Structure 1
């Protein structure tokens, strides 16, 4: 795995991806952030050695390199999910590559279901912690010390300074943001009413099918992480309705410009 990651990073460096500072993983319906980037390179995943290829509608499957708010960034326009059939090492492969390119700060985003009764569809939630309920752990198996330690400290999975900075940014822009805990399940089914109740009882505010493996692997390598969720459906008693992937995309799209403004201003302050 280490040699594959090295090969991929070398390929990206050779085509001109030079000293990026910030990595961004764009979730369902949130690809609009790319419009804010002054793009220097746009590489389809299928042209990148060892990269998986996204199979989910709404994930275009392109690696973007360029400048956002004066910072060099690498953005994944489309991520990989465990439910697609990928191994966890493949789901998190791009995060390993980002680190080998020199990236030390990672921002992840996702569309998810809200179980906090104060939430509504379209709300933006800063992730301040997570609960990992995926059936496979991305660090299971033999540990490669070149990446990080066997036992990874997770007392601060999402960087507190970055959280404070985003809250200040939202205040300055007069954009309302929520804050909460994200719980990750395997998917690809949306949650049943009983599962939504379970998520709430476990202490989470939102539930989704991604993000946590990427953050765990990033923390394994000592990266600072920050996360944003868009609430695209509700798992709240009395407000649970039929949901589809298409409806999730539409709901996420409605918050796309707001999130883009937030991220652009946030990165400018980092």
Structure 2
């Protein structure tokens, strides 16, 4: 009996059979080879720019940009504040590739597709991934505009079985059971703290735990209280799938969250989170974030 064919938002046709749920190694290789044949750049460092943080790519010199819809197998970004461009160039003499806009499960993508570019970066011989995001501050000590280095994360979806590594493992990318206790590189975090002190910023550089939720709605007060009690300092709707896949591939990771709003923990509060606030906070913090990333890349 023939199995029915399904068409998803990302236009990938698959059959209702587990072995066809995700791309094969050859599909990642096709995308990587297309990029290598269309650019002279051979990046060592990749940066995923979160909501409102795409201006980092403007710091690249001698850049070359591709729209996501030009690149074979690449998903499309549909969220305001995500330009949907892959940009190659130099940052402090280091060859980099930057994503101006990422993908999210709430856009309709499966988690393995959200993290699809990371495996492509591995095939481009990228050795370091910098992940950035806009997040709500759960830690009461955090203020809007603070930068939090990600020391650890809580994969809330993963605890219920939703993981970008779910399904058959391809040993060409990594082992079946990758550890996550060292997901965020300690040395790069130490360097970031030193750089921040040199930048003489008014607020301290925070460091804490990021928790990912599905979105797209912002969290309820009860959910924020729950996440805070779990030990999370900041909450967002991204980042964790890319980090898991990067570590599975052997890519070292550095990550930070821009605190764009304070999560509401008090039922008497009149504050209401919104995406426009997130983008505005990103715009206001752009200069210090760009300075931090530029100086950090120079040390790699």
Q: TM-score, normalised by structure 2?
A: 0.88
The structure with the largest alpha-carbon Rg is 2
Q: Show the 5 A alignment for 1:215-230.
A: 215-230=243-258
Partners in 2 of 1:63 and 1:204 — Cα distance?
31
Partners in 1 of 2:255 and 2:283 — Cα distance?
17
Counterpart among 60, 64, 72 of residue 37 in structure 1: 60
| Residue aligning to 2:196 | 170
Q: Show the 5 A alignment for 1:1-270.
A: 1-134=24-157, 136-175=162-201, 176-238=204-266, 241-270=271-300
Q: TM-score, normalised by structure 1?
A: 0.97
Partners in 2 of 1:257 and 1:4 — Cα distance?
37
Please say if residues 17 and 65 of structure 1, whose CA atoms lie closer than 8 Å, have aligned partners that are also in contact: no
Which structure 1 residue ranges, 5 or more long, are not aligned?
A: none
Partners in 2 of 1:170 and 1:25 — Cα distance?
20
Helix, strand or coil for the counterpart of 2:55? Answer: helix
Partners in 2 of 1:195 and 1:90 — Cα distance?
27
Does the C-alpha gap of structure 1 residues 222 and 197 become closer, same or farther in structure 2, counting only changes over 3 Å? same
Partners in 1 of 2:171 and 2:80 — Cα distance?
36
1:115 Cα shift? Answer: 0.7
1:81 Cα shift? Answer: 0.3
Partners in 2 of 1:227 and 1:17 — Cα distance?
27
Which structure 2 residue ranges, 5 or more long, are not aligned?
A: 1-23
- The answer to which structure, 1 or 2, has the higher relative contact order (CA under 8 A, 6+ apart) is 1
Please say if residues 193 and 240 of structure 1, whose CA atoms lie closer than 8 Å, have aligned partners that are also in contact: no
Instruction: Give runs of ≥4 in structure 1 deviating > 6 Å.
Output: none
Partners in 2 of 1:17 and 1:220 — Cα distance?
27
Partners in 2 of 1:118 and 1:234 — Cα distance?
10
1:267 Cα shift? Answer: 0.6
Helix, strand or coil for the counterpart of 1:142? Answer: coil
RMSD: 1.1
CA displacement 1:120-144 (0-9 Å, x = unmatched): 1111111000000126200111111
1:237 Cα shift? Answer: 3.2
More deviation in 166-175 or 198-207? Answer: 166-175
